[in-house]
Structure 1
Amino acid sequence: MSSAFSSRSRTSRYTSGAEAALTVLLVLLPLALGSAPTWVHGPLVVLAGLAFVLACVGAWRQQRSLHLPLLALPLGAGALLCLLQLVPLPPGLLAVLSPEAAGLRDVVLVPLGLDGPRPLSMDPPATWRELARHLAYLLTFVAAVQVCRSGRARRRLLTTLAFTGAGVAVLGLLHALLGLDTLFGVLAFVHARPPLVTPFGNPNHLAAFLGLSATVSLGLALSSEGRTRAVPYVLATVLSGMGVVLSLSRGGIAFFVFGMLAFALLLLSRRAGTERARTWRRGGMVLLCLLAVLAVGGQAASEHLAAELRTADSVEELRHSKLEQWPVLASVARAYPLGLGRGAFESVFPRYQSQPVIHTATHPENAVLQLATEFGVPGLLLLAVTLWGFGRLWRREGLGAAELAVLAGVAALGLHDLFDFSLELPASAVAAWVALASVARPEDRQRAEAPRGHVPPRVLVAGVALTAVALVALVLGWSTLETAEAELGRLVSARAPLAEVRARGLALIDRHPADHALQDLVGLAYAKAGRAEAAEALAFANRALFLNPVDAWGHRVAAHALLTLGQRTQAFLEYRLAFEAGDQALLWSEALERARTLEELQALTPDTARQAVIFASQLQRAGHQERFLPWLAWARERFDAAPEAAQLWEHEARVRLQRRELAEAEAASAEVSRRAPDALFSYLLRADVLQALGRGNEAVEVLEALGPRFLGNVELAFALARLQVDLGLTRRARESLQQVNPFVSNHSQRAQLYMLEAASYEREGLRTRALESWKSAVRMQPSGSLWFKVARLHESLHQFDAAARAVREGVQLLPEAQRGEGEAWVARLEAAERQRVEERRRERGGSGGADSVLLRALGAEEDLGTVEGEEP
């Protein structure tokens, strides 16, 4: 760094206390699960307020004035905007300032009697929490600016950031070396499976934090006096950089490289004259460290990186990436010119989603759109001021290597947040603001020329007041969407009195008016209350669907209410809409069981031919045999032009085969062959029809002719082997299985192979060999039926003890109510074993009899005879 690091002015112990508070923040926030939990906000506010107060006292004791850089303005203005968004407004003024918020009030809240004034924020508790965070960042930044007036303190803070990043990376490497997939072997991430296990559950956030710390580490290394002092920082750079690479975050790796290259270019552009040679050496060291990190990290994670990069190698993948949400997010920003409320994005965005999603979007994953949607036009103005302030630091003269590294690292972090939201979490945000404070401090020349002053007491009072406001904001923002939904869900699950559920539900809806899940839960409670409350349940479902048009639960509640009201056809249409909104299990597990007529099945049918084919399979499995063929005729006509219609004809042929309507099955098979002449399922169906018609040899010829076309196809080989076993061509069946043995890819397929092999041995009468194959099958795919098959073979070979053990294994896999017959079987086998042992004891006097019994027990006599029924 510049000569600023050589400043030896005496530091007040209060300023040292402020430095200690900032140090704790830099270490605590990354280790506290990446600062993702909401409880982190409490320590953040307390430590930030403490740092500010101590820094002000220290500046007053040293008779220094308080320095407020331009970058403090957007933080303070952001806190003020949060406060303004929380002011309750009368309905008329709300309609003028935010028509969308007024519309939500009229549709969702007024019918429930919640007709009081409403703020601009669509989720006030979330905005209260954001107010606390903005104030904490402001206090942290201003305190860090005062602390960073000391060169030694400035270097210590940056060193803390550098070594914290290295420590987090070391934690991840240790977990990888020990093979731990849970944090410290105890804590498992519920909604994440990070490639590198660290306190950060999100690999993008991990990469963003480590990228900043790695760049700062390298800057500290280049500013160190002497090679020995630079070694720890170089090591920290390599460790943090490896953490970035091993996180497998594509954006994190790309912007880490960008930060390093930007740092090298800054070094090369800021030096001239006599220092040119030294500057080139420093730039070369940056590039050398970058290459070392990429080489070591890339070698360690080459396979995983290749797999990750393959997911972004097509235009289709790019189209379905985060970029496709940007137009939708822009439309949300246009709908809320003054913002929907800082922090309220998670509850509001589902209203504007056009496609069902599996996971809830908590952030836009774009910093510009985040501010545009939550703060509106004022947020974009704050962003412009922030960029202007950062640009002034960028153009500052006389910056050292560490300061240039800070600017490059923060720039990379900010650009990364065009595709992520790392700065929305305190760990990265506090690290970035503290690092920027080391550059935004007063310049040495300005401090020397400026007259000494002191911090007035009102500044100290203001800091205490802001800390108090932040703590009050945390209290007012304690309720989150997750806790509110969990609380109401417990009441509904426990079947609490309907009046209690409604009262608590209305209180939570008043607190989180844009949350559709709360409407769903209250609606579900009303739906369970019977016909008298079904209309009210339907009203809650409609409000939930207003808040989230692709809400599967809303459609489900509506379906329950409509069934109770006797509107069955409309109810099944709601079930179908729930299916299209992503709740596919609901259609199979609940709706199909309740359908009674063909019209209801038609209402349930999905709109796409592909899903209709799946629906046909589930419908056949559900036992709607008397309505299945009429439904198939209707579905085939509806989806006649789609390629999937051939599979509907296949279902027709299969059903006809089961009903032994062979002429109709043959006609349906011919239609399948016409529509899908090259599809494998067409040939397999044709072979089954031929076998049912008694033309098994012709069916075998059909399948055998497909071998060259579908080389190594496991499904074809299994069908051919099954047919060959049925015809007694057992050796040829095993040859067919042997040909595809190298292509079997999972335990299920391997188990089927062993079962077909066992069936072929049984057909030949080789029960001992069949037994070994059945045992192999049950090891691959344990099930009660397979264990019982093993038991029957043991019993046929007079191996009663082994048979009893197999039955016990199978019984353990059955439900409790179905174990009685198996236990009786075990008792019978144990009795037979005792009788056999007693007979052997009586026959012990004659060797011939003993040998005969032994041979019979081993089943060897089964393999001594000739095999009949096999072709030469």
Structure 2
Amino acid sequence: MSPASHSRSRTSRYTLGAEGAMAVLLVLLPLSLGSAPTWVHGPLVVLAGLAFVLACVGAWRQHRSLHLPLLALPLGAGALLCLLQLVPLPPGLLAVLSPEAAELRDFVLVPLGLDGSRPLSMDTPATWRELARHLAYLLIFVAAVQVCRSGRSRRRLLTTLAFTGAAVSVLGLLHALLGVDKLLGVISFVHARPPLVTPFGNPNHLAAFLGLSATVSLGLALSSEGRRRAAPYVLATVLGGTGVLLSLSRGGIAFFVFGMLAFALLLLMRRAGTERVLSWRRGGAVLLCLLAVLAVGGQVASERLVAELETADSVAELRHSKLEQWPVLASVARAYPLGLGRGAFESVFPRYQTRPVINTSTHPENAVLQLATEFGVPGLLLLVVGLWGFGRLLRREGLGAAELAVLAGVAALGLHDLFDFSLELPASAVAAWVVLASVARPEDRKRAEASRGHAPLRGLAAGVALTVVALLALVPGRSTLETAEAELGALVAARAPLEEVRARGLALIDRHPADHALQDLVGLAYANAGREGAAEALAFANRALYLNPVDARAHRVAARALLNLGRRTQAFLEYRLAFEAGDRGLLWREALGRARTLAELQALTPDAAREVVQFASELQRAGRHEEALPWLAWACERFDAAPESVQLWEHEARVRLARRELAEAEAASAEVSRRAPDALSSYLLRADVLHALGRKDEALESLEALGPRFPGNVELAFTLARLQVDLGLTRRARESLQQVSPFVSNLSQRAQIFMLEAASYEREGLRTRALESWKSVVRMQPGPGAWFKVARLHESLHQFDAAARAVREGVQLLPEAQRAEGEAWVARLETAERQRVEARRRERGGSGADSILLRAMGADEDLGTVEGEEP
């Protein structure tokens, strides 16, 4: 045999090396937290370049030319578009090509002195990262096409994907069986709570990857010779499909089933003549395997699946789903005909949001809109070319079961990405391009041989160049929105010099000009500087609101700056806007404490009636009764037609009671009863007013009459028990508490039962029993007040050492500035304990030692008479 023929008959070891590099990627990327971290881009580019170089050398050694399928065109053109989006453009040309980008430059960057040329991309580091990824995918795809010319290599790559998916699913099942909610018992997902704990934090991404691997493994099972060889692949299919179901991803489950059905349909369509029977057998095997997966997975996760599917069982749920964003995303695409920059969606999209959102949208969760927004019209053209290339693969003749499974799985993955963004992560993207290469390989009859070193060596040079470009692109691409905001936020939190914060902030804004959070942080630094920095703080807040019209932090910065300038009413309007934009805690944590006048409280008041009720509660809780009364009068008049107005009247009555304005409280209570005559809260308020007026028996009678109407009501029982204790009816109070004890649903209510029991025992003089009840309270709800109550009871029983321990526990729960009085109390108790011990020593030999010891231990405290109890 000649050397040339020998080289063609055996796979080159360099080609095997390329195959190994791609196999490492197929395993490494899913295990690297689903390839979500940005650090995976380095290994991705290195291994992609290595695979391409080795594949070129292998082709050169085997006298083969490199094959470039049509599907390589979208990848190469995508990389070129990324590069063009990074080219700095003069302002005039930028205004012609992208008016939105030019407007952002003029409004956000030019006032900061950043008036240089700008590219089309609104986030250049993100576009640099995307350039590196597109080049890596291109290198992987071309290398995989070359490697997959060998049937054994092709099968090994597909097997690697199939078993990787099965391994990921088994890992999740083990976590579920062991009850471990951390990955490998170590790693916790911060922003996700996946139903199935695997390296994928997002259940949709897990379902997409497992759906592709399970479909491919079933194709391998059907193309295997003999049942023994097919069994591992069938098992991998069942495991992967079970993982899809356990992910509880509705889209993932639906498109996994679609992929399986599409695979069965392709098998039936591609077989004819003498192979008709075999075709029906294989199609039936696919459906049988699908039924097995659904049976196994449904049995394991039936309850959770039903609960998850029920969340989409209403029109309102669908209306507020991902489909609601599509018109907004389409408007973004129209605003950027040449794209806003590949990867820049996360920083740009907040400008077009119309309502406050809790989570940041990193992707449109629609593959078509992703390309339309980031690449513009050229991106849609590339999508058309890609679909055309995929259609050509579907029309190929002679495809086996494994190839048909690949096409069905990739089609399901692509359709799933109409509602997700799995292909935006390297784990699913690399898997899809590698398996597509197994179908896009040149047919045997079309494998044209080239002269030694001709096309492969040129490809080798191009591959090395592209790898170097991709690696260089990762250098400017290492800056992300998260790291930039964290770096600047650390400077602001540390109160770094204002000049340092501004210099660093401008550098980061120059990299991420569309990020509103960077403007917020610099503005916050200026707001913290007092009156001198207030004007600059307002300017940064204004730019942040341009970049995100529903930015709560920008309104907060503006409010603080306006307060520094003395424009208080306008400042409180900004606080209210921050509240309406989603910063719910700011109103109670900061703004309410700074409001002084009625006008300021009115400016701070939300527009929604239910939130006004909470506003009244916070105002009352703060003890600001003097300001609360005129505000409540205004609020009751403004929201008179709202159903929540009755609660505002109730708050006024409570404030009047606290101020001992009993006539006014009775009038407000009458208004509450008129507006809500059958509400329990109206009766409870009336009872409190009667109690304050000294008509305790009448209040008790009215509350006891409510028992049959509101059986098992905990709030009613607590109010009744407090009144009964106050009237000395301690046993009846404990009976009232025992009647509702089965209806108590949380520790807070259980603690209140013990508090009221303790109060009843104290009223009877049973301090030991009261002490035990208070100990139960501190076990359920440890707090300074409860510990100090325990300490007082111990002290009253002359148990000074135990009292000191209780005081120490309570002091530990106090702020540092409030601990002095408690520490003095501890010192006094310790002194009393030492004196008691010394007295016991002196009296030990005397005749009265036993009686003194008994008194010291509190043994005779229950010997007193019980006072105030009814017969």
| TM above 0.5 | yes
Letter in 1 for 2:807: V
1:513 matches 2:501: no
Measure the CA separation in 2 of the matches of 1:412 and 1:670: 65
CA distance in 1, matches of 2:870, 2:269: 86
Tell me how far 1:275 sits from its aligned partner: 3.7
Corresponding residue for 1:338? 338
- 2:669 matched residue in structure 1: 669
Whole-Å separation in 2 of the counterparts to 1:722 and 1:222? 75
Q: Which moved more, 1:21-30 or 1:555-564?
A: 555-564
The answer to whether the aligner puts 1:28 opposite 2:12 as a matched pair is no
Pick closer, same or farther for the CA change 1:500–1:846 going to 2, 3 Å: closer
- Summarize deviations over 1:414-446 as a string: whole Å, max 9, x none: 122111111111011101111111111122343
1:304 is aligned to 304
State the distance in 1 between where 2:708 and 2:205 align.
51
**1:301 is paired with a residue of what secondary structure?**
helix
The alpha carbon displacement at 1:862 in A equals: 4.7
Matched, 1:819 2:819: yes
Q: Does 1:475 align with 2:475?
A: yes
**Aligned residues of 1:252 and 1:416 also touching (Cα < 8 A):** yes
Q: Is contact 2:654-2:665 (8 Å) kept?
A: yes
Report the counterpart of residue 747 of structure 2 in structure 1: 747
Partners of 2:286 and 2:154 in 1: CA distance: 22
Which residue matches 2:4? none
- Residues 158-207 of structure 1 show CA distances to partners (whole Å, capped at 9, x for unaligned) of 11111111222222233333433222232222222222222212121112
| Structure 2 residue identity aligned to 1:45 | V
The equivalent residue for 1:3 is: none
Contact 1:101 1:122 in 2 (8 A): yes
Q: Is the 8 A contact 1:768 1:860 kept in 2?
A: no
Alignment coverage as a number of residue pairs: 863
- Alignment partner of 1:641: what SS? coil
Q: Cα RMSD (Å) of the superposition?
A: 2.5
Which moved further from structure 2: 336-345 or 767-776?
767-776
In 1: Cα distance, 2:406 partner to 2:709 partner: 62
The more displaced of 418-427 and 838-847 is 838-847
Residues 146, 506 of structure 1: CA spacing in aligned structure 2 closer, same or farther, 3 A cutoff? same
* Distance across 2 between alignment mates of 1:366 and 1:702: 62
5+ unaligned residues in a row in structure 1: which ranges?
Answer: 1-6
Q: 2:57 & 2:793 partners in 1: Cα distance?
A: 88
* Residues 1:356 and 1:845: Cα distance change in structure 2 (over 3 Å): same
Inter-CA distance 813–734: structure 2 relative to 1 (3 Å threshold): same
Are the aligned partners of 2:8 and 2:62 in contact in 1 as well (CA < 8 Å)? no
Change in Cα spacing, 1:539 to 1:820, as seen in structure 2 (3 Å) is closer
Letter in 2 for 1:869: G
Select between 72-81 and 502-511 the one with higher mean Cα deviation: 502-511
Q: Partners in 2 of 1:849 and 1:504 — Cα distance?
A: 77
Cα offsets for 1:632-669 (capped at 9, x unmatched): 11222222221111111111111100011111111111
Q: Secondary structure at the match of 2:602?
A: helix
CA contact (8 A) 2:690 2:699 kept: yes
One-letter code aligned to 1:108: V
Shift of 1:154: 0.5
1:57 maps to a residue whose letter is V
User: What TM-score do the two structures reach when normalised by structure 2?
Assistant: 0.94
| Deviation larger for 392-401 or 606-615 | 392-401
Q: CA deviation at 1:731?
A: 2.5
Q: CA deviation at 1:451?
A: 5.7
Given that 1:801 and 1:830 are in contact with CA atoms closer than 8 Å, whether structure 2 keeps it comes out as: yes
Q: 1:527 to 1:828 in 2, by over 3 A?
A: closer
Equivalent in the alignment of 2:648:
648
Label 1:680 to 1:255 Cα distance change in 2 as closer, same or farther (>3 A).
farther
Please say which of residues 715-724 and 345-354 is displaced more in the overlay: 715-724
Q: Taking structure 1 as reference, are residues 46 and 767 closer, same or farther at Cα in structure 2, changes over 3 Å only?
A: same
Cα distance change, pair 56–195 in 1 and its aligned pair in 2 (3 A)? same
Pairwise CA distance, 1:46:
1.4
Q: How does 1:190-201 map to 2 (within 5 A)?
A: 190-201=190-201
Deviation at 1:506, TM superposition (A): 2.0
Q: Does the 8 Å CA contact 1:59/1:455 hold for their aligned counterparts?
A: no
Q: Which deviates more, 808-817 or 66-75? A: 808-817
Distance in structure 1 (CA, Å) of the matches to 2:269 and 2:846 = 104
CA distance change for structure 1 residues 284 and 627 in 2, over 3 Å: closer, same or farther?
same
Which SS does the other structure have where 1:712 is aligned? coil
Secondary structure in structure 2 of the residue aligned to 1:235:
helix
AA aligned to 2:541 is: A
Amino acid at match of 1:870: E
Where does structure 2 lack aligned partners over 5 or more consecutive residues? 1-6
Which shifted more, 856-865 or 58-67? Answer: 856-865
Deviation string, structure 1 residues 753-792 (Cα, Å, up to 9, x no partner)? 2212222222233333322222111111111211222222
**Hey, what does 1:252 align to over in structure 2?**
252
Q: Does structure 2 conserve the Cα–Cα contact (< 8 Å) formed by 1:182 and 1:189?
A: yes
1:568 maps to amino acid: R
Q: Which is worse superposed, 104-113 or 492-501?
A: 492-501
Alignment pair present for 1:212 and 2:215: no
- Aligned match of 1:165: 165
Instruction: Name the counterpart of 1:60.
Output: 60
Q: Is 1:125 aligned with 2:125?
A: yes
What is the alpha-carbon distance in structure 2 between the residues aligned to residue 523 and residue 768 of structure 1? 59
**Does structure 2 conserve the Cα–Cα contact (< 8 Å) formed by 1:22 and 1:140?**
yes
Q: Which residue of 2 aligns with 1:870?
A: 869
**Counterpart in the other structure of 1:790:** 790
Give CA-to-partner distance per residue, 1:390-428, whole Å, 9 cap, x none.
222223332222222212221221122111111111011
Contact 1:592 1:622 in 2 (8 A): no
Residue in structure 2 matched with residue 489 of structure 1 by the alignment:
489
Contact 2:650–2:668 under 8 Å retained in 1: yes
Q: How does 1:392-791 map to 2 (within 5 A)?
A: 392-447=392-447, 450=448, 455-791=455-791
Partner in structure 1 of residue 152 of structure 2? 152
Label 1:418 to 1:835 Cα distance change in 2 as closer, same or farther (>3 A).
same
**For 2:475, what is the secondary structure of its paired residue?**
helix
Distance 1:817 1:498, change over 3 A: closer
Helix, strand or coil for the counterpart of 1:69? coil
Q: What residue identity is the alignment partner of 2:543? A: R
Q: Which amino acid aligns with 2:343?
A: G
TM-aligned CA distance change 1:299 to 1:731, over 3 Å: farther
Which range moves more in the overlay, 451-460 or 418-427? 451-460
| Residue of structure 2 equivalent to 1:390 | 390
Q: Which amino acid in 2 is paired with 1:187?
A: I
Q: Greater shift after overlay, 317-326 or 547-556?
A: 317-326
* Kept after mapping to 2: 8 A contact 1:98/1:336: yes
Q: Which whole-Å deviations, capped at 9, do the CAs of 1:539-593 have from their partners, x for residues lacking one?
A: 1111111111111111122122222222222112111111111122222222222
Is the alpha carbon distance of 1:9 and 1:666 closer, same or farther for their aligned partners in structure 2, counting shifts above 3 Å? farther
**2:3 alignment partner in structure 1:** none
Q: Tell which deviates more after alignment, 9-18 or 529-538.
A: 529-538
Segment drifting more, 619-628 vs 750-759: 619-628
Which AA in structure 1 matches 2:765? G
> 1:231 Cα shift?
2.3
Asked if structure 1 preserves the Cα contact closer than 8 Å seen for 2:8 and 2:63, the reply is no
One-letter amino acid matched to 2:185: G
CA offset digits 1:305-355 (Å, max 9, x no partner): 344334333322222222211111111111112211111101100101111
The secondary structure found in structure 2 opposite 1:477 is helix
**What is the alpha-carbon distance in structure 2 between the residues aligned to residue 553 and residue 269 of structure 1?**
58
Distance 1:709 1:143 in 2: 78
How far 1:858 sits from its partner (Å)?
6.5
CA positional deviation for 1:386? 1.6
Q: What one-letter code is carried by the residue in structure 2 that aligns with 1:183?
A: L
User: How far off its partner does 1:710 sit?
Assistant: 3.6
User: Over residues 260-316 of structure 1, what are the superposed CA-to-partner deviations in whole Å (9 max), with x where a residue is unaligned?
Assistant: 232233333333444444444433433333333333333333443344334333322
Task: Give the Cα–Cα distance (whole angstroms) in 2 for the partners of residues 114 and 832 of structure 1.
Answer: 72
State whether residues 724 and 730 of structure 1, in contact with CA within 8 Å, keep that contact through their aligned partners in structure 2: yes
- Give the 3 Å change call, closer, same or farther, for CA 384–859 of structure 1 in structure 2: same
**1:837-852 equivalences in 2 (<5 Å):** 850=850
Once the two structures are overlaid, the 10-residue window that deviates more, 455-464 or 205-214, is 455-464
Q: Assess if the C-alpha contact under 8 Å between 1:242 and 1:294 holds in 2.
A: yes
Does structure 2 conserve the Cα–Cα contact (< 8 Å) formed by 1:410 and 1:432?
A: yes
What is the Cα deviation at residue 684 of structure 1?
A: 2.1
TM-score (norm 1): 0.94
